[in-house]
């Protein structure tokens, strides 16, 4: 396996390779070379950087820019590339949307929040904010006067057109308008208030009879600006927002941000805290998949399943409530360990759960999985190939159902996962049934992890002492953890103070919603419900 540093030096001669705080090599390249280099990195035969984890938009005051986090699905190596522009009036960078499919929506997000235009991106519109929004909120000089962007009960102005910026041969950039749909398309609006979209997401669906031609995913109905809020809060205060992104993976997201901050501050946490964190993560995963099965079956018309699956979920919520004091939004993991010690009967409760879980999973399979109507609705519906899953950065159970081994617990183990025995569930079909079954089997694996840990919770302190005002040294850190729906990445850049200079959240659900357009093309409109449900996106997570 070629060393990634050597590889970068070979592809990008003369570039200085730095390390960010988490050991991911970072290179700074010039914007005009970026597109060719990206192509080379992506197509490299030995170590193809085919997975674009996230694009972090940045405002360094003297310049604007973006940091691309890349990973290889083959060798699992990671690197990051930094490009920037000093023009604040009309900042422009080159798009890589033709290399990684997911880059299209990531670049739109950066454009929306930083105002950086990506030349060559086929869809340069606002993503979360209205087209009339004044300013770019994540810029440091953003004017947040509510009079500029008032809360209005008037319908927002919408356009049928999107912008494309094309570079001509003489180097000037021309802005052209392009229709989102064809002029004679019949467009049906699904959402934002629709029970099948699982939250306030809107699909503008062009249909031809019953066939779907194109879907324009319209988000932002629950964009709360968490990243900007974090910049005005101290590190421990930023943690509680993680509960409210993907509220099913509250523990996992907390875990991710805590690891990033602990790495940056050089805090070692006790073994007991690590075991507690991992157990909580796995309990969340079971609870989350239970709710997924319930709501998904409900979408397909099997309402009764919800009552069966919520029984196990309630049992898990009881365990968590005894320890964390809340049924949701636990705010349990903290910097240095966990907030409070385990409840006295935690072990007993987990054992009781593990005793009833196999019978429950068997029951779910008996009621639903073998049902002929369910099978006909799921098998072969919404097939996603492995290449597309990687190109669209579809991670988690949905990505693994397409045959891509993308479980961060295996690829980049954190905490104590490397010591634990569990299988990564991988299917090859890539259809809705595979996605459903992957989750079903993952519950068994999570139970396996819990079985290994429940009798081996070591003694010790549950939280180490950390300074009241925590200041991180200058630098940047990127941490990936496995949420219940896929890879959750968090990027922190510190300028040496007690507040983050930039805290970027890379959620798994944004790619999941983006890929809906790709896999529903040519499908029937009733299959949209099956496909959307099987991807299991959480809208507050993608919008943040």
Partner 1 sequence: MEVTCKGVPYEAFKDNEYIEKLVNELRESGTNVIVGTFDKLINWGRSNSLWPLTFATSCCGIEFVSLGAARFDMARFGWEVARASPRQADFMMVAGTIVNRMVPVFRRLYDQLAEPKYVIACGSCAISGGPFRNSYHVAKGIEDIVPVDVFVPGCPPRPEAMIYGIMQLSRKIKVEKFFGGVNRQEKQREFLESHPVE
User: Interface with partner 1 by CB under 8 A: which residues?
Assistant: 128-130, 137, 142, 144, 149, 151-156, 192-195, 199-200, 220-226, 228-229, 232, 240-241, 243-244, 247-248, 291, 295, 306-307, 310-311, 313-314, 327-329, 539-540
Q: Could you tell me the smallest distance in angstroms from the CB atom of residue 167 to partner 1? A: 32
Give 155 or 172: the residue with its C-beta nearer to partner 1. 155
For residue 417, the SS3 value is helix
C-alpha 328/C-alpha 249 separation (Å) is: 10
Give 318 or 419: the residue with its C-beta nearer to partner 1. 318
Q: Could you tell me the smallest distance in angstroms from the CB atom of residue 88 to partner 1? A: 19
Q: Could you tell me the smallest distance in angstroms from the CB atom of residue 225 to partner 1? A: 4
Give 42 or 439: the residue with its C-beta nearer to partner 1. 439
Give 157 or 468: the residue with its C-beta nearer to partner 1. 157
CA dihedral 522, 526, 527, 531 (to 10 degrees): 130
Beta carbons of 540 and 246 less than 8 angstroms apart = yes
Give 126 or 400: the residue with its C-beta nearer to partner 1. 126
Nearest to 424 by CA among 448, 447, 453, 400: 400
Q: Could you tell me the smallest distance in angstroms from the CB atom of residue 498 to partner 1? A: 18
DSSP 407: -
Nearest to 79 by CA among 105, 40, 97, 52: 52
Q: Could you tell me the smallest distance in angstroms from the CB atom of residue 87 to partner 1? A: 24
C-alpha 203/C-alpha 192 separation (Å) is: 8
Give 228 or 410: the residue with its C-beta nearer to partner 1. 228
Q: Could you tell me the smallest distance in angstroms from the CB atom of residue 200 to partner 1? A: 5
Alpha helices, DSSP H, located in 379-503 = 386-391, 396-401, 408-411, 432-454
DSSP 177: E
Supply 339's token pair: 């907030």
Q: Could you tell me the smallest distance in angstroms from the CB atom of residue 188 to partner 1? A: 16
Give 105 or 190: the residue with its C-beta nearer to partner 1. 190
Beta carbons of 114 and 64 less than 8 angstroms apart = yes
Q: Which residues lie closer than 8 Å to 35 by C-beta, 6 or more apart?
A: 94, 95, 96, 99, 120
Give 135 or 475: the residue with its C-beta nearer to partner 1. 135
How distant is the alpha carbon of residue 177 from its chain centre? Answer: 30
N-terminal to C-terminal alpha carbon distance within the chain: 37
Beta carbons of 491 and 478 less than 8 angstroms apart = yes
Nearest to 418 by CA among 426, 407, 427: 407
Give 275 or 324: the residue with its C-beta nearer to partner 1. 324
Q: Could you tell me the smallest distance in angstroms from the CB atom of residue 294 to partner 1? A: 8
Q: Could you tell me the smallest distance in angstroms from the CB atom of residue 430 to partner 1? A: 28
């Amino acid at each position: 396996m070629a060393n990634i540093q050597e590889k970068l030096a070979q592809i990008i001669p003369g570039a200085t390779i730095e390390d960010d705080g988490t050991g991911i090599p970072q290179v700074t390249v010039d914007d005009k070379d970026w597109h060719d280099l990206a192509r080379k990195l992506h197509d490299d035969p030995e170590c193809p950087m085919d997975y674009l984890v996230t694009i972090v938009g940045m405002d360094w005051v003297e310049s604007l820019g973006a940091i691309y986090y890349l990973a290889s699905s083959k060798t699992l190596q990671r690197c990051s590339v930094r490009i920037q522009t000093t023009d604040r009036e009309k900042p422009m960078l080159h798009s890589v949307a033709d290399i990684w499919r997911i880059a299209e929506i990531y670049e739109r997000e950066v454009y929306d929040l930083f105002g950086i235009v990506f030349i060559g991106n086929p869809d340069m519109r606002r993503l979360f904010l209205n087209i009339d929004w004044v300013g770019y909120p994540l810029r440091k000089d953003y004017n947040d006067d509510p009079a500029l962007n008032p809360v209005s009960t008037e319908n927002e102005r919408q356009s049928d057109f999107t912008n494309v910026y094309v570079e001509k041969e003489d180097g000037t950039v021309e802005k052209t308008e392009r229709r989102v749909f064809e002029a004679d398309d019949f467009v049906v609006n699904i959402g934002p208030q629709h029970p099948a979209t699982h939250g306030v997401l809107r699909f503008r669906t062009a249909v031809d009879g019953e066939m779907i031609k194109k879907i324009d995913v319209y988000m932002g109905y629950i964009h709360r600006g968490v990243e900007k809020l974090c910049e005005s809060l101290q590190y421990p205060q930023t943690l509680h927002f993680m509960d409210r992104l993907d509220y099913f993976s509250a523990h996992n997201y907390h875990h991710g941000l805590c690891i990033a901050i602990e790495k940056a501050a050089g805090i070692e946490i006790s073994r007991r805290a690590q075991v507690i964190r991992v157990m909580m993560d796995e309990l969340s995963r079971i609870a989350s998949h239970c709710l997924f099965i319930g709501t998904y079956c409900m979408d397909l018309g099997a309402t009764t399943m919800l009552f069966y699956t919520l029984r196990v979920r309630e049992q898990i919520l009881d365990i968590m409530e005894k320890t964390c004091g809340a049924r949701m939004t636990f705010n349990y993991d903290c910097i240095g360990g966990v907030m409070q010690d385990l409840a006295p009967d935690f072990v007993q409760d987990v054992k009781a759960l593990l005793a009833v879980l196999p019978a429950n999973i068997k029951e779910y399979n008996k009621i639903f999985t073998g049902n002929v109507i369910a099978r006909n609705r799921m098998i072969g519906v919404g097939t996603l190939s492995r290449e597309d899953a990687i190109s669209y950065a579809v991670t988690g159970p949905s990505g693994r159902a397409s045959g891509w081994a993308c479980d961060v617990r295996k690829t980049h183990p954190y905490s104590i996962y490397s010591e634990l025995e569990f299988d990564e569930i991988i299917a090859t079909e890539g259809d809705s049934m595979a996605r459903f079954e992957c989750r079903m089997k993952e519950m068994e694996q999570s139970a396996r992890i819990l079985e290994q840990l429940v009798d081996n919770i070591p003694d010790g302190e549950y939280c180490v002492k950390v300074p009241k005002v925590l200041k991180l040294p200058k630098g940047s850190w990127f941490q990936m953890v496995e949420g219940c729906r896929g890879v959750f990445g968090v990027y922190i850049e510190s300028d040496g103070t007690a507040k983050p200079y930039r805290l970027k959240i890379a959620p798994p659900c944004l790619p999941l919603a983006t890929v809906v357009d790709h896999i529903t093309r040519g499908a029937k409109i009733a299959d949209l419900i099956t496909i959307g449900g099987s991807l299991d996106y959480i809208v507050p997570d993608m919008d943040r």
